[in-house]
Amino acid sequence: MKRRNVISHSRRETVNSVRNERKKKSDGVTTEDRLSQLPDEIILRILSALDVKSVVQTSILSKRWKYIWVSLPVLNLNDSSFAESISFEDFVDNFMSARDSSCNVFKLSLECHNELEDHELLDSIIDHVTDTPSISTTIQVLTIFAESVVTKLPELSVCRSLTVLNLSCIASEISIFNLPSLKQLYLYDCRFECGMGDSLDLFGECVNLHYLYFHSCVYYGDVKSFIISAPQLRQLDISGFRVDEMFDDQCEIELVTPRLKYFKYQDSDLYSFSTEIDLNFVEEIDIDVGWGTNYTRVDEDEEEDTDSLYRLIELFEILRRAEFISLSTEVIQVLSRFPDILEDQSSPFTRMQTFELIHDTTFTSGIPNAVKAYLFGETS
């Protein structure tokens, strides 16, 4: 019954295309249907590139295809072709109920660009993933894009095959990602309620994490130490990190990433970084801090703020083994304001092979000698 509901939802949109195909048959000549002669495995692979609604629509084209959609190994659920969010939510509920629960699913993507009427939809999807053995034991990639609260993220810990997790625009009270098989984690524009503790270690249980990206994420709570603890992490990409929706200069980011190779930081402000271990494998760093015009103006009556300078010096010391280095022009401007302090600092990048300056169109001057001496070990 539910299968007929899913199909009828899209039937009207494809009936015209079916009629057009029939019109092509004339003078007793029948067009050979080579597509239907393909093995199910190949057909499913082709259909896996489409969104689920389009896949369901194909079921009307052939008797053989009538129920092939129930066996999809890749589920792309997207509301872009639905006029109302409630229609999309009903479609998702019907589809997930009607699919063959014995068939493995390797990838699931849920993208909701419109505001959801049912804010429990995301949790129901997670329930379906974790409660269905053919999914929980095989799923490798999970993507959720929706502006909604998600309460059941911790339940994903049962998915031991999950290697890639993409989360965008969600809000959650999760305090730790307990996903030991995860290798790639992408967090974009997410909101996390962190409680009253002064330290937060979200990734401590992601023991196989290789790539971590978090952009424009906000952490609510009294967080003073944001710990990135991931023993296998190779790449770290941070931008737009905020505590209680603001830059908190009292918050420190602690790196416990002994195998880190690539570090990228992009923001309008720079947090303090610390580590208690040597990051011996760092090869490439990209630091783009856009303090804007704050450091292009010199006011002799205003006491110079050296906080940003010392944060840079500390970060460079942590990443001193880097060989390939990219810095923004704003970073150079900050360094150039304090030549006397730089004179007392050792050049941090003794293994540097290449240097790239991320140019700003307003930056016309060259790198001052004092900055060259500090960065490159050059003497005038």
Q: Note whether residue 34 is domain-resident.
A: no
Residue written as token pair 């304090």: 338
Instruction: State percent of the chain over pLDDT 70.
Output: 85
Is pLDDT above 70 for 137? yes
What is the rounded distance in angstroms from the CA atom of residue 81 to the CA atom of residue 8? Answer: 16
Q: Note whether residue 277 is domain-resident.
A: no
Q: Note whether residue 363 is domain-resident.
A: yes
Question: How far is C-alpha 340 from the chain's CA centre?
Answer: 41
Q: Note whether residue 57 is domain-resident.
A: no
Number of compact structural domains in the chain: 1
Q: Is 58 helix (H, G, I), strand (E, B) or coil?
A: helix
Which string of DSSP letters, residue by residue, matches 268-285?
Answer: SS--EEE-SS--TT--EE
State the residue range of the domain holding 334: 282-380
* pLDDT single digits (tens) 369-380: 999 999 998 655
For residue 340, CA distances in Å to 173, 183, 308, 345, 346 come to: 46, 44, 15, 9, 13
Position with higher pLDDT, 303 vs 243: 243
Q: Taking the CA atoms of 243, 249, 255 and 256 in sequence, report the sign of the dihedral they define.
A: negative
Is pLDDT above 90 for 172? yes
Position with higher pLDDT, 116 vs 155: 155
What is the rounded distance in angstroms from the CA atom of residue 193 to the CA atom of residue 14? Answer: 45
The model's pTM: 0.86
Segment 142-149 mean pLDDT: 95
CA atoms within 13 A on the CB side of 167: 24
Q: Note whether residue 223 is domain-resident.
A: no
Is pLDDT above 60 for 8? no
Q: Note whether residue 345 is domain-resident.
A: yes
What is the pLDDT confidence band of residue 183, given thresholds at 50, 70 and 90?
A: very high
Q: Note whether residue 86 is domain-resident.
A: no
Q: Note whether residue 49 is domain-resident.
A: no
Backbone angles phi, psi at 307, to 5 degrees: -55, -45
| Per-residue model confidence (pLDDT) at position 190 | 97
Contact call for residues 141 and 163 (beta carbons, < 8 A): yes
Please give the mean pLDDT across all residues of the chain: 86
